[in-house]
Amino acid sequence: MATTGTPPRLGNADIAELTEWRRDLHRHPELSGEEERTAATVTAMLRDTAPDAIVSGLGGHGVAALYDSGIAGPRVLLRCELDGLPIADLSGSAHRSTVAGKGHQCGHDGHMAILAAMARLLGRARPAKGSVVLMFQPAEEDGSGANLVVNDPAFAPLQPDYAFAIHNMPGVAFGQVAVIAGPACCASRGVKFRLTGRTAHASQPETGLSPMVAVSKLMPALTALANGSVATSNPDFTLVTITHAEMGAPLSASRRARRRCSQRCAR
């Protein structure tokens, strides 16, 4: 993706500003389909780079910016994601999530910062020919965002000839990019099992019915469904991963207070 004239570079001030911009995103994660603040933050950043067009509201809260050379050529789309995860940020860093139970645990804030850096470069020098679209996609984590974006009529004028996405990978050396022939990104499908037992008063536990035994057998049975091992070279490799397990009904504040009272009385 050559640019006209001398290729622009990012300076120390750019890096400092982009770092703080990413940390702000990290402090305010939003879940799939809820990325209103994130989208507004991205739109404001893109506007400062003077793109030829900004399209917002794509497939929900998606945002795209177009940088056109004015010369016929291919259109290249670079994609990142907006959403965080419903997982608490326990990092302890100064810029950790300020939203209880939510965090950018998959690096989407970093992906957005990479495209923000590209926006600055394209704002300073358009590609030599063709155009570039920077796509900030919503709802990647729940799997719905891509279809919502490409089926949005507002996306049709941005249809690319080539589309590229990246993902951070811990362990890859700084400044390096890893590529591989063939499939590189996994497809996943979620499933939820709900087992219903029967609650009982603490004084009569024998009248209850706990799903604990069933859960303890179900977890290893599910992971045993994996096709092959993690080290396999089989391109159709599958792996069943249990991501969340919870047993017991959530307690309200009043029920927690009653339980504490019951425990004290039992002592």
Q: How confident is the model over 3-49, as pLDDT tens digits?
A: 556 788 999 999 999 999 999 999 999 999 999 999 999 999 999 99
pLDDT single digits (tens) 159-189: 999 999 988 888 899 888 888 887 777 777 7
Structure tokens at 48: 């400062």
Amino acid making up residue 12: N
For the chain, list the domains and their CATH numbers.
12-165 (3.40.630.10), 205-266 (no CATH)
pLDDT single digits (tens) 224-241: 887 655 555 666 677 888
Query: Which of 55-64, 154-163, 230-239 comes out lowest in average pLDDT?
Result: 230-239
pLDDT at 247: 84
pTM > 0.85: no
Looking only at the bridges linking them, the beta strands covering 53-58 and 162-165 are unpaired
165: CB partners within 8 A, 6+ apart: 78, 79, 80, 185
Greatest CA separation for the chain: 81
Residues 65 and 48: their CA atoms lie apart, in Å, by 11
**Statement: residue 254 has pLDDT above 60:** no
pLDDT at 118: 97
Distances (CA, A) of 12 to 9, 15, 34, 41: 10, 5, 33, 22
**Statement: residue 2 has pLDDT above 80:** no
